[in-house]
Every structure is written in C-alpha cells, then in structure tokens.
Chain A
Amino acid sequence: KAGVTQTPRYLIKTRGQQVTLSCSPISGHRSVSWYQQTPGQGLQFLFEYFSETQRNKGNFPGRFSGRQFSNSRSEMNVSTLELGDSALYLCASSLYQGGPYEQYFGPGTRLTVT
C-alpha cells in the first residue's frame, strides 16, 4: 500500500507570496492532519480534516488555511508569506478521526521563505 505523499517536496518563495501544499493520504484513510515543524518549536498542529470538514484547528493565524476533497486528499494554503513561515510542513493520515488510530506521516514539504 502506498504511503502518504506530499507535493511539492521543496519550495522557495519570497515574502508576501502565497503557497499551496498538497497531501494524498494512504488509500482508505479519511483523516488528514497538518503540522508545522521548526527547530525551535518542534511539531505544531495546524489543522485536521475528516470527511471534508475541518475538525480541529491549531493556534495559527488566518493566513493558514486548508481543505479536504471528497477523495480525502488535502491541501493547505499559506497567504502573505512571512520569513517565520519557513519550516517543514508535514501531513499525517489515519483511518478515522480521534483515536486510537495510527497516524502515518508523509515525507513533508520543506518551505523556505526569503
């Protein structure tokens, strides 16, 4: 079974631009969560989607948004990029929402904002 895939793997953007990242969960998985990982803050939760609905949202500004499609694929968007948005963005999928379900991570998208 194929794992979680994320595209693109690397991105370089300039301040003020916007970016869209994509995540395809493991086949059959319906829940997708997004995390931002930085050396100083570790893994921080962005949002979780299940059945095309945002179920939980982390403490990030409104510039960060996401959505989930009927095939469970998910996208996240960051508008008006800031230097501090440079990070590894990870998505994780699980069978259902809540627990106890194993969550598997994708390879991540490394975003650099200059």
Chain B
Amino acid sequence: EDKVVQSPLSLVVHEGDTVTLNCSYEVTNFRSLLWYKQEKKAPTFLFMLTSSGIEKKSGRLSSILDKKELFSILNITATQTGDSAVYLCAAQDDYGGSQGNLIFGKGTKLSVKP
C-alpha cells in the first residue's frame, strides 16, 4: 500500500527559529507532492512539487523535492506565532484507487511560542 510518513509529529519552537519538516513517500505512480497548512479549518494549499531539486519559495516558506530519495522538506524561517498549525504533506498518485488521488501523511503539528 502507498504511504506517506511525516516527521516529526509535533514540534515546539520559539518565534524567530527556523524549522524543517520532513515528508517521505512510497507511491507507486507518483506524480507530485503537495504541502498544506491546516489551522482550525480546512487545509490551505502551500506548494506543489513535481521536479527534483527545484526549490519553491513563498515568503518565509520554501520546499524542495528529492525524487531519488523519495522525500520532501518544508522549511520555515523566522517563525511567527501565526505559523502555528498542522502541516500536511500529500503525495499525488496518478491512478488513485482506494487510497485516492492524494495520499496524506499524519501531519506535523507546529507550535510557535512567543
């Protein structure tokens, strides 16, 4: 069965710290990897990565994909309390099946303390 594993499951940092969230995947028909941020509501889309080694950046957030080693990282620099959320990683499968098109990890809960 396809799977996505995120680590760590939870993380507590202080404002201004830099954090790295990890996501590894085993997906037979891999097409892309997506990152979402979820606060007390629906997941908000952050990035979609399809090519290895090309960093995507949005403000203080950046992400990169390694298709050889089957993992992705999400970096957040100069963290703020507003970054506190659960960060979800999902691998997109070309054919879906009973797991569907997006296979999600359990998420990393990030808490940023002032």
Task: Pick the residue among A45, A97, A105 that contacts B43 (CB under 8 A).
Answer: A105
Give A105 to B46 CA distance when docked, in angstroms: 12
Answer whether residue A56 sits at the interface, using C-beta atoms and an 8 A cutoff: yes
Q: Are B42 and A45 in contact (CB under 8 A)?
A: no
Chain B, interface size category, equals 20 to 34
Taking the nearest CB of chain A, how far is it from the CB of B31, in angstroms? 3
Q: Are A45 and B100 in contact (CB under 8 A)?
A: yes
* B36 CB contacts on chain A under 8 angstroms: 105
Task: Pick the residue among B41, B48, B102, B104 that contacts A107 (CB under 8 A).
Answer: B41
For the residues of A in contact with B, the DSSP-based class is: strand
Given known pairs A100-B31, A105-B42, the reply for A58 and B50 (CB within 8 Å) is no
Task: Pick the residue among A33, A35, A102 that contacts B48 (CB under 8 A).
Answer: A102
Q: Are B96 and A98 in contact (CB under 8 A)?
A: yes
Give A90 to B97 CA distance when docked, in angstroms: 18
The 8 A CB mask of A22-62 against B (1 = contact, 0 = none) is: 00000000010101000000110111100000011111000
Answer whether residue A64 sits at the interface, using C-beta atoms and an 8 A cutoff: no
Answer whether residue A66 sits at the interface, using C-beta atoms and an 8 A cutoff: no
Name the CB-closest residue of A to B91: A99
Q: Are A33 and B100 in contact (CB under 8 A)?
A: yes
**Which of B96, B98, B107 has the most C-beta atoms of chain A within 10 angstroms of its own C-beta?**
B96
Chain A, interface size category, equals 20 to 34
Q: Are B94 and A98 in contact (CB under 8 A)?
A: yes
Taking the nearest CB of chain A, how far is it from the CB of B75, in angstroms? 20
Answer whether residue B32 sits at the interface, using C-beta atoms and an 8 A cutoff: yes
* B94 CB contacts on chain A under 8 angstroms: 98-99
**Which of A42, A55, A88, A100 has the most C-beta atoms of chain B within 10 angstroms of its own C-beta?**
A100
Residues of B within 8 A of A (CB): 31-32, 34, 36, 41-45, 48, 50, 88, 92-102, 104, 106-107
Nearest first, the 3 A-B pairs at minimum CB distance are A99-B31, A45-B100, A100-B32
Residues of A within 8 A of B (CB): 31, 33, 35, 42-43, 45-48, 55-59, 88, 90, 92, 94, 97-108
